[in-house]
Amino acid sequence: MPDTGSLLAFFGAALLLLLLPGPGVAYVVTRALSQGRGAGIASAAGLSVGAALQGLGATAGLSAVLLASSAAPGGGERASPIQ
């Protein structure tokens, strides 16, 4: 177990990183300030749709890998709730 000083330093650094805005926030704020509220909303919506599509793609890819894997439960057979 790390000592108390190390834990406090870690949690302080983690909190600082949580409070800093990321590139997505900087992009939305920049668009909103330079081109108006509508552009900011459109940018936020675009980032949200992109994140959702990336999540779906990662899920589909991981599912395909698990279904094809012989180490997966079922031994590479098609996983289906209906036998």
| pLDDT over threshold 60, residue 68 | yes
Q: Is residue 55 part of a domain?
A: yes
What DSSP string runs through 66-77? HHH-TTSTTTTS
pLDDT at 72: 62
At 4-19, the pLDDT tens digits run 999 999 999 999 999 9
At 18-60, the pLDDT tens digits run 999 899 999 999 999 999 999 999 999 999 999 999 999 999 8
Q: Is residue 78 part of a domain?
A: no
The CA-based angle 25-60-82, given to 5 degrees, is: 140
Number of domains present in the structure of the chain: 1
Contacts of range 65-72, beta carbons closer than 8 Å, 24 or more positions apart: none
Give residue 57's domain range.
Answer: 22-66
Q: Is residue 83 part of a domain?
A: no
- pTM of the predicted structure, to 2 decimals: 0.61
pLDDT at 82: 55
| pLDDT over threshold 70, residue 71 | no
Q: Is residue 15 part of a domain?
A: no
Q: Is residue 51 part of a domain?
A: yes
